Chain A
Amino acid sequence: MREPHIVVEDLTMAYGDFVLQRDLTFTIYTGDVFIIMGGSGCGKSTLLKHLIGLNNPAKGSILFNGVDYWRAEPQQREEITRGFGVLYQSGALWSSMTLAENIALPLEEYTDLSPQDIGEIASLKLALVGLKGFEDYYPAQISGGMMKRAGLARAMAMDPEILFFDEPSAGLDPISSRLLDDLILQLRDSLGTTIVVVTHELASIYSIGNNSVFLDATAKTMIASGDPKLLLKECTNNIVHSFLTRGGEFTEKTFESDGC
């Protein structure tokens, strides 16, 4: 019943001669909220860059709906890329454009909608992330949390099949971060989007993730994968366990009693 959406096979990531991670093999299913986790500097963000086609894998393949991204024709690759929406760490909004223009740009480039329709879609996306009425603001005029949400609105502009998030809760207060998590789940439920999140925010990991991969910097490979809640219960690896319990500070009960 679960359809594989993204399949990573035997992936090795390297910068020149320096191998960051090797032998990565995992599957992300349609409608998953997939968490890429691990300590700082283990290559989480690099893995995300490989998934969205910014970095070329040193070895191995990444398949989207069965199509090998790096061995596909340029045109096919572009088509796959158009199905991505990416929320960068600090929003990466284009500073010379208003929020509405930021969202409108991909629509103007890739659809033949009229300017009025594009304006309406831009307003809709801003309304979805709770920024109704901020169409004419420039990124420099809004707060960091709002920039992040506007970045999400832009990522959703083209109704993507897969949404990628790079550290969505970094720099947000706990409540905003919680609201963003809820928003991610609501979008997944309404649109059926597959969601890939790079994060090390434990609360987020437990509340939204239903599948994950754990990268380790010393082993230079993945040392665990699966539902984070199950990993917390079942994983015997010390590094993973200590990460998931914040060095033993949290227990399974902490999160269960929170209702996470």
Chain B
Amino acid sequence: MGTSLKMQVNESMFSFIRPDKGTLLIVLRGKWRAGERLPPVSEVFRQIEQDPATKNIAFECSGLAVWSSVLITFLINIIDYGQQRDVSVDREGLPPGVQGLLNLAYAVPERAGARREKVRTPILEQIGQEVYAFWQGTQEVFAFIGEATVAFGKLLRGQARFRRRDLFVAMQECGIQALPIVSLISLLVGLILAFVGAIQLSMFGAQIYIANLVGIGVFREMGAIMTGVIMAGRTGAAFAAQLGTMQTNEEIDALKTLGIPPMEFLVLPRMIALAVMMPLLCLYADFMGVLGGLIVGVTVLDLNFTVYYNQTTDAIRLNDMWVGLFMSGVFGILIAVTGCLRGLQCERSASAVGKATTSAVVTGIVSIVIATAIITVLCNILGI
């Protein structure tokens, strides 16, 4: 046909010229960058499909003012389309910079097997995998507890390797520094218990039994549980985040290669610190809780201070206190174990540290509640 046939498309960014039968010349002009209204590449595909004789695509760029990545992706679409349809693309007419980038983009072939197919796993397989993961997780927990017990045995024989300083730092962190929040929470829990009881008991004129309710409730259960929950959120999370970051920074690998077991060096001091400090915190929380009840009793219910005091000391048996303290010791070990376990299981990335911390707090609180249930049932059976 010889004559050039010019076809104008709506967009002013490009137009098409057919200099000879097999060739499609694409004239690019204007500003090809993000933010401009860019023409769809499908227009080019349509042009090629309209004339099946097209065997060659070329470009003319004298009117092209500005270009950026959007032009390159546009061209890559055309080149890939051409490869599928056996249409050759002549890059000669493009600016040298564009040619350079295109060469770079096609320089490294896609690595075989790199791209991931999205596979839909059948529901049964998913359930199976979940169960398997759960079983593996349980095994890891038991392995961890076993290792911790062995490390503790070494400690009793005086062979465990850790720095005494670390133990004292850990004790300070999970002891004295936790006092303000423990004071606030346990005082308020005492207040709340007293208020809830006051409404019911005053109907019978038995306001004085508020002292029994608050005293026994706080000493036997609430003091230990509240300190447990606070410490799981405060110290358990801190352990997991710290050990997780150490894992990410290869600090734990450094300990291992020096022959220092992380179980003894990192976990043991934290576990001992929590197991020792938790009962002390719990005892403190018990007194703060009773103080909360006393405040309500004296101010709202107009009870006499001495009467309230005597009623409290009569109500609480020594065993109630021992049960509470025993529980808090157990909680201390549980929190330390979950915190350290999740920290050491952490993968090497920032998001993994976040997951480890969340998991430490959740596991810590769940195990506290389960342990409380078991101990309460046991006490009931044994009549303590």
Interface residues of A (CB under 8 A from B): 94-96, 107, 111-113, 117, 120-121, 123-125, 127-128, 130-140, 159, 183, 186-187, 189-192
Residue numbers in B under 8 Å from A125 (CB-CB): 69
A12 to B252, CA, bound (A): 39
Give A238 Cβ to nearest chain B Cβ, in Å: 38
The answer to whether B104 touches A190 (Cβ under 8 A) is: yes
Q: Considering the complex of A and B, which 8 residue pairs feature the smallest CB-CB distances, nearest first?
A: A190-B100, A95-B349, A130-B108, A133-B114, A96-B351, A120-B73, A190-B97, A133-B115
A131 to B101, CA, bound (A): 14
**With contact pairs A128-B105, A132-B110, A186-B104 given, residues A159 and B98 touching in the complex (Cβ less than 8 Å):** no
A139 contact from B38, B77, B111, B349, Cβ within 8 A: B349
User: What are 5 inter-chain pairs, A to B, with CB distance below 8 A?
Assistant: A120-B77, A132-B108, A132-B114, A137-B116, A159-B68
B70 contact from A117, A132, A134, A139, Cβ within 8 A: A117
**With contact pairs A117-B70, A186-B104, A190-B98 given, residues A140 and B349 touching in the complex (Cβ less than 8 Å):** yes
Given contacts A111-B34, A121-B70, A191-B97, 7 further A-B contacts (CB under 8 A): A107-B34, A127-B108, A128-B101, A130-B107, A132-B114, A135-B115, A192-B97
A117 to B77, CA, bound (A): 11
The answer to whether B352 touches A95 (Cβ under 8 A) is: yes
The answer to whether B98 touches A117 (Cβ under 8 A) is: no
Give B67 Cβ to nearest chain A Cβ, in Å: 9
Residue numbers in B under 8 Å from A113 (CB-CB): 34, 70
The answer to whether B76 touches A120 (Cβ under 8 A) is: yes
A134 to B115, CA, bound (A): 6
Name the CB-closest residue of B to A157: B69
Give B192 Cβ to nearest chain A Cβ, in Å: 39
Q: What 1/0 flags go to B72-102 for Cβ under 8 Å of A?
A: 1100110000000000000000001110110
A131 to B116, CA, bound (A): 13
A131 to B115, CA, bound (A): 10
Name the CB-closest residue of A to B112: A133
A120 to B72, CA, bound (A): 10
The answer to whether B104 touches A121 (Cβ under 8 A) is: no
Give B18 Cβ to nearest chain A Cβ, in Å: 27
Interface residues of B (CB under 8 A from A): 33-35, 38, 68-70, 72-73, 76-77, 96-98, 100-101, 104-111, 114-116, 347-352
**With contact pairs A124-B76, A192-B97 given, residues A140 and B347 touching in the complex (Cβ less than 8 Å):** yes
B104 contact from A112, A135, A137, A183, Cβ within 8 A: A183
Give B355 Cβ to nearest chain A Cβ, in Å: 10
Give B94 Cβ to nearest chain A Cβ, in Å: 11
A132 to B108, CA, bound (A): 8
The answer to whether B97 touches A189 (Cβ under 8 A) is: yes
Name the CB-closest residue of A to B106: A127
A133 contact from B33, B69, B106, B110, Cβ within 8 A: B110
Residue numbers in B under 8 Å from A140 (CB-CB): 347-349, 352
Residue numbers in A under 8 Å from B108 (CB-CB): 127, 130-132
Residue numbers in B under 8 Å from A94 (CB-CB): 350
The answer to whether B347 touches A134 (Cβ under 8 A) is: no
The answer to whether A189 touches B105 (Cβ under 8 A) is: no
The answer to whether A96 touches B350 (Cβ under 8 A) is: yes
**With contact pairs A95-B352, A140-B349 given, residues A134 and B104 touching in the complex (Cβ less than 8 Å):** no
Residue numbers in A under 8 Å from B347 (CB-CB): 140
The answer to whether A124 touches B105 (Cβ under 8 A) is: yes
Give B337 Cβ to nearest chain A Cβ, in Å: 26
Residue numbers in A under 8 Å from B351 (CB-CB): 95-96
**With contact pairs A140-B349, A190-B101 given, residues A112 and B35 touching in the complex (Cβ less than 8 Å):** yes
Residue numbers in A under 8 Å from B76 (CB-CB): 120, 124, 127
A96 to B110, CA, bound (A): 24
Counting chain B CB atoms within 10 Å of each CB, the highest count among A131, A132, A138, A187 belongs to: A132
Name the CB-closest residue of B to A140: B349
Name the CB-closest residue of A to B37: A112
Residue numbers in A under 8 Å from B38 (CB-CB): 117
Name the CB-closest residue of A to B105: A127
A130 to B106, CA, bound (A): 9
Name the CB-closest residue of A to B355: A96
The answer to whether A117 touches B73 (Cβ under 8 A) is: yes
Name the CB-closest residue of A to B351: A96
Name the CB-closest residue of B to A116: B73
Residue numbers in A under 8 Å from B105 (CB-CB): 124, 127-128
A128 to B69, CA, bound (A): 11
Residue numbers in A under 8 Å from B73 (CB-CB): 117, 120-121, 123-124
Give A187 Cβ to nearest chain B Cβ, in Å: 8
The answer to whether B69 touches A132 (Cβ under 8 A) is: no
The answer to whether A124 touches B69 (Cβ under 8 A) is: yes
Residue numbers in B under 8 Å from A159 (CB-CB): 33, 68-69
The answer to whether B77 touches A132 (Cβ under 8 A) is: no
Residue numbers in B under 8 Å from A189 (CB-CB): 97, 100
Counting chain A CB atoms within 10 Å of each CB, the highest count among B35, B73, B352 belongs to: B73
Residue numbers in A under 8 Å from B116 (CB-CB): 136-137
The answer to whether B72 touches A124 (Cβ under 8 A) is: yes
Residue numbers in B under 8 Å from A130 (CB-CB): 107-108
A138 to B104, CA, bound (A): 23
Residue numbers in B under 8 Å from A139 (CB-CB): 349
Residue numbers in B under 8 Å from A186 (CB-CB): 100, 104
B109 contact from A112, A121, A132, A183, Cβ within 8 A: A132
Name the CB-closest residue of B to A127: B105
Counting chain B CB atoms within 10 Å of each CB, the highest count among A128, A138, A192 belongs to: A128
A206 to B101, CA, bound (A): 24
